[in-house]
Amino acid sequence: MATNPTKTRAAYVCNACGAAQPKWSGQCADCGAWNTLEEVARPPAGQSRAGGRGGGFAAAGPTESVIHTLADLRPEERVRTSTGIGELDRVLGGGLVIGSVVLLGGDPGIGKSTLLLQACESLGAEHPVLYVSGEESPQQIGLRARRLGVVGAGIRLLAETCVERVLALAERDPPRVMVVDSIQTLYTDLLQSA
């Protein structure tokens, strides 16, 4: 009996290490974690899917892709929130957009943390701000704030490097703006590798 080459096959991916297994079992053969295998849809033979965990596997569910013509697209006007720093707003296209992520990069010591703290001062006047620090203690940030004249009444500080704990604490009292300083210090319990 021939199999349908376009039929989606099932695979099981460990949510602890990302290893793919051809069939379900109670324990992951790669990392030894118990009850971590989850069924995912695997593309038919000869097809691959970009992205996703476990070597091209993707979670089961329909996905629809649409090809657009660039000339036909009409950009949506997004409401932007000013950071209070004119040049930073200019670089951001007029300010921060709700739901966006901005990565601020540069050499050590050039003032990234200082710039972020100053922007948080302005944003904190109107919005709840959570400043997550993976490198400095709240006391060190407080010392910098005093040197800069940042009062920081609307800024809450969290010294944490675990992504799951940061998200859990942020869910309890959601901020409008969250700063992570710096992203390379964070880790997740879901992945064992760096």
Q: Is the separation of the CB atoms in 118 and 85 below 8 Å?
A: yes
Q: For the full predicted model, state whether its pTM sits above 0.75.
A: no
Q: Token digits for 91?
A: 């670089």
pLDDT, tens digit (0-9, with 9 covering 90-100), for 167-191: 999 999 999 999 999 999 999 988 7
The confidence score (pLDDT) of residue 65 equals 83
pLDDT, tens digit (0-9, with 9 covering 90-100), for 53-70: 444 434 444 557 888 898
User: Is a pLDDT exceeding 90 seen at residue 113?
Assistant: yes
**How would you classify residue 111: left for phi > 0, otherwise alpha for psi between -120 and 50, otherwise beta?**
left
pLDDT, tens digit (0-9, with 9 covering 90-100), for 7-21: 545 678 888 888 888
The Cα–Cα gap between 45 and 62 comes to 18
More confident residue, 66 or 95: 95
User: Is a pLDDT exceeding 90 seen at residue 136?
Assistant: yes
Q: Token digits for 54?
A: 């476990």
pLDDT, tens digit (0-9, with 9 covering 90-100), for 69-93: 988 888 777 789 999 999 999 999 9
User: Is a pLDDT exceeding 80 seen at residue 131?
Assistant: yes
